Structure 1
Amino acid sequence: MSQGKPQVHIQEEGMREGMQIESADIPASEKIRLLDALSQTGLKRIIVGAFVSPKWTPQMAEVEAVIDGFTPVEGVDYTAIVLNPKGAERRAAYGHKLTLPDPTLGRSKIHLCDVFVRRNINRSQASEIEQLEQSVANAAANGITHAEISINAAWGSNWLGGFDEDERLRLLQLQYDAWTAAGIPVTRIHLGDPMSWNTPSAVRSTLRRILKTFPEVRDYHLHLHDARGMAMLSAYAAIEELDERHSLLIDTAIGGMGGCPYCGNGRATRMIPTEDFAHFLESEGIETGLDIDKLVEAGTIAEEVVGHELWSKVTAAGPRPTGDRVYAMDMPFVETFEQAQHFRQGPKVYQGALSPWREPVTSPVRDAYDARIAAEKEN
């Protein structure tokens, strides 16, 4: 019997992971325009920003204005990131527009890279481990009933090199044991990769070990950066390792924008482009419920908002043309990115381009194709 696929969910990170590495001068009105466009695509999980210090992340200085200004769509979970109690207090004031965290879910995280955690949140790996027992005790006292365990910088570091499988499992096991000792089952595992060290083979190997070690865990969450071009391949490797018993949440960002300023790669860190990943999943027969055309429009808006080209291939070239959306046979040469936008803007974008054909291009095979598509539409 063939193995079924897990339930795959997409979480949109462009408004947080993307905007935090873009210009601080982007006005809130433009961010609202992009957020409203994303809300129309069928996405069910959108992170709208982060309640963090504007001193160190000035791009989030107007997060309240963005939340005040956008128009929520029913059925979409809008969330925001916080790093401390002050941020949580600010977020709580927007419970009427945001989906607040599940109060019954506890979370713990240990970074494999001691340098990154010091740069990012001014803590050490040792302090994370030392505080684990007390954090779990506090969670149990506050009525937590299930938990997520997490490792960050899971596969490697730009300062310390790669990490081995045994270390990944050791740090997950530490957290698992702490929660289960408190009588709280672990139901989710999160793997983060801020410095783009993921590879398909590494992700595949890690998941195989995790599945063998924690077989009762059903829910997984991957946050993969794409500086080295492997994130979508690694995400697919994860899909292949899991089965119909599991759910897999994948973080993506419109246009592929994203990056942590603490990692050393800036905007080149990137994320999996949401529109590319949705197109990929649909091509593999995995339904997403997303409107690819609207994602492309959102990707175009994202480029306008940030003021430069982004990295989505589907926004640049369009989805695979099918049905009556196949290209005109006698279209002229198409050479530029601007001309390639004919799939959404029509023939006006390539008017005047070189065209070597003296007569219109015709094909009996295309005629038969057009007839078949017309008949299918009638029926």
Structure 2
Amino acid sequence: MGTREIGLPQRVPGTGLPARVTIWEVGPRDGLQNEKAIVPVAVKLEFLDRLAEAGLTTLEATSFVSPKWVPQLADAEELLAGLNKREGVRYPVLVPNERGLKRALEAGCPDIAIFGSATETFAQRNLNSGLEKQFEMFEPVLAGANGLNVRAYLSMCFGDPWEGPVPAEQVVRVGKRLLELGCTQLSLGDTIGVATVGQVEGLLAAFADAGVPADKLAVHFHDTYGQALANTVAALRCGVSTVDSSAGGLGGCPYAESATGNLATEDLLWTLEGLGIEHGVDLDALVKTSAWMAEQLGRPSPSRVVRALAG
């Protein structure tokens, strides 16, 4: 798959929006961990280098999870040892527990992330814990982080396939506790992609009412029902300026039938460009990178912008 040189959308700056957005690129970790086949570490390393070359400055590289549960990321140490770290680029890693933290510290990772749940059922099914009990797992990780930057992902913030709609006050309570434990940022996840603009505005207002400023929050939308970009713009209008996305739309949601996965970074960039919001990423270079990765994976990119611009 090749690409043609592209133009950019006409810039018509919007009102009530941040001047600049930080993109937290999750494709190398959240995207590739969902692949059925193991992606060679050399391909992952080239992918990360191409993403950095395109101007992305936060690249979630891998996760220190058990190879038994996520064999796609069993090469975490090898990948980090071979990484061409660029100045000004952060390479956070996901850490599920104390054992994962130990591996991250041994690898010299300054940025880590933990993964929590806003609902009881998801915590039981995916963390082998519970809504309250999960904090017993997080507390020693935060205590042993030794000054590292620790982000918290919070899943099922808008809807849960087993419990249905999730009350905003429940999400705020769990999220505030993660921040109080010492997390520097909280990423609010729409894990099954059911959120709508009104829900997003309501949840972010609830966090503001609880004393949590928007600069402590990020958003992570899935595009199952085609709402990810609309929800992102709604979050930006509420003051959020960090958005999670995945190059080429890599990744999927295993809990929603026909889920299309993560918000594609290229689709996000097209929207940001049109709104006059700075982001620091070369869209042309990123489209070429995602087209290249699609070739490595042997299938077309899910990103609409990549499909529109790659020829």
TM class by smaller structure: 0.7 to 0.9
1:94-113 maps to which residues of 2 (within 5 A)? 94-95=107-108, 98-101=109-112, 111-113=117-119
Match of 2:55 among 22, 32, 42: 42
Provide the residue aligned with 2:238 in structure 1. Answer: 241
What secondary structure, in the 3-state scheme, does the structure 1 residue paired with 2:132 have?
helix
- 2:149 & 2:110 partners in 1: Cα distance? 19
Q: Distance in 1 between matches of 2:20 and 2:60?
A: 20
1:256 is aligned to: 249
Q: Which residue of 1 aligns with 2:171?
A: 168
Structure 1, unaligned runs of 5 or more: 102-106, 319-339, 342-379
- Would you say the 8 A contact 1:158–1:195 is kept in 2? yes
Displacement of 1:10 after TM fit? Answer: 0.3
Amino acid at match of 2:219: L
Q: Give distance in 1, aligned partners of 2:77 and 2:115.
A: 27
SS of the residue corresponding to residue 48 of structure 2 reads helix
- Could you tell me how far 1:189 is from its partner in structure 2? 3.9
Alignment match, 1:352: none
| 1:154 matched to 2:157 | yes
Counterpart of 1:60?
Answer: 73
1:224 and 2:221 aligned: yes
Inter-partner Cα distance in structure 1 for 2:289 and 2:233: 24
% identical equivalent positions: 29
* Structure 1 Cα separation of the partners of residues 143 and 63 of structure 2: 27
Would the aligned equivalents of 1:11 and 1:46 in 2 still touch at CA under 8 Å? yes
Aligned to 2:98: 85
Q: Secondary structure at the match of 1:250?
A: strand
Q: Counterparts in 2 of 1:313-324, with a 5 A limit?
A: 313-318=304-309
| 1:264 CA drift (Å) | 4.8
Answer yes or no: is the 8 Å Cα contact 1:110–1:152 preserved in 2. yes
1:308 is matched by which residue type in structure 2? Answer: R
What's the TM-score once normalised by structure 1's chain length?
Answer: 0.69
Q: Is the 1:190–1:221 Cα contact (8 Å) retained in structure 2?
A: yes
2:191 pairs, out of 167, 178, 194, with 194
Q: Is the 8 A contact 2:65 2:95 kept in 1?
A: yes
**What's the counterpart of residue 207 of structure 2?**
210
Q: Is the 8 A contact 1:273 1:312 kept in 2?
A: yes
Query: Partner amino acid for 2:293?
Result: A
The answer to whether residue 112 in structure 2 is matched with residue 119 in structure 1 is no
Tell whether the 8 Å contact from 1:154 to 1:168 is kept in structure 2 after alignment: yes
RMSD: 3.1
User: How far apart are the structure 2 equivalents of 1:289 and 1:126?
Assistant: 39
Query: How far is 1:258 from its partner?
Result: 1.2
SS in 2 for 1:33: helix
Where relative contact order (Cα < 8 A, 6+ residues apart) is larger, the structure is 2
Partner of 2:244: helix, strand, or coil?
strand
| Contact preservation (8 Å) 1:31, 1:305 | no
For 1:270, the equivalent position in structure 2 comes to 261
**Cα distance change of structure 1 residues 24 and 146 upon mapping to structure 2, 3 Å threshold:** closer
Greater Cα radius of gyration, structure 1 or 2: 1
Tell me how far apart the structure 2 counterparts of residues 65 and 140 of structure 1 sit (CA, whole Å): 27
TM-score, normalisation: structure 2:
0.83
> How many residue pairs are counted as aligned between the two chains?
297
Contact 1:154 1:191 in 2 (8 A): yes
Deviation readout 1:116-144 (Å, 9 max, x if unpaired): 11121111113236x49x939x9679887
**Which one-letter code corresponds to 1:239 in the other structure?**
L
Q: Mark the CA change 1:92 to 1:170 in structure 2 (over 3 Å): closer, same or farther.
A: closer
Question: How many angstroms does 1:33 deviate by?
Answer: 2.2
**Amino acid across the alignment from 2:62:** G
CA-to-aligned-CA distance 1:42-75 (integer Å, 9 cap, x gap): 0010011111111111111222232233322221
- In the alignment, structure 2 segments of 5+ residues that lack a partner are 1-14
Q: Residue in 2 aligned with 1:288?
A: 279
Offset of 1:260 from its aligned partner? 5.0
| Secondary structure, counterpart of 1:77 in structure 2 | coil
Pairwise CA distance, 1:217: 5.8
The letter for the 2-side match of 1:287 is E
